[in-house]
Amino acid sequence: MQGEQDYYRLLDVAPDASTEQIREAYRRLAFQYHPDRNPAGSDASKKMQEINEAYATLMDPVKRREYDLPRGYRGRVPKFRKGSKVKVSSNSASPYRDRNGIVDKEPVKDAFRFWYMVRFESKGLPAVSRFAEEELEAVRG
């Protein structure tokens, strides 16, 4: 299905859309195409399956990156640079989740993502740990 359908076009969002924009588009389309709201003979059920697949792929950071890379949607540009202030995502399995840190070195890329070394200060002692790009968020302010 991934080769046939452009998930961004299906959900009517831009390739750089935020997860909130994707969620809003999904809810709007799910309301419109839900099989309970459409006659049994229509293509609403098939359309709803396509919408669900697109949503599931674009909301998962790893699946989204794997979907985007072969299609050229995401340039291979790191999200953060050395010295950037970052926060470890609350859904990370790291013991540093929800803590702020600073990117210690320029990121390293592999086939699917960028990896960052992040420095944390705790009681005057530095600690450095490695994180995938999808585990980090920008610190505002």
pLDDT at 87: 93
pLDDT at 53: 95
Helices and strands (H and E) in the chain: how many? 4, 6
- CA dihedral 30→32→36→41, nearest 10 degrees, is -120
SS3 helix, strand, coil % of the chain, rounded to 5? Answer: 40, 20, 40
In the chain, which stretches have pLDDT less than 50?
1-3
pLDDT at 101: 94
pLDDT at 58: 92
* Superfamily holding 7-71: DnaJ domain (1.10.287.110)
pLDDT at 127: 92
- Identify whether the C-beta of residue 131 lies closer than 8 Å to the C-beta of residue 113: no
pLDDT at 16: 78
pLDDT at 1: 41
Which sequence spans correspond to the domains of the chain? Answer: 7-71, 85-138
pLDDT at 118: 95
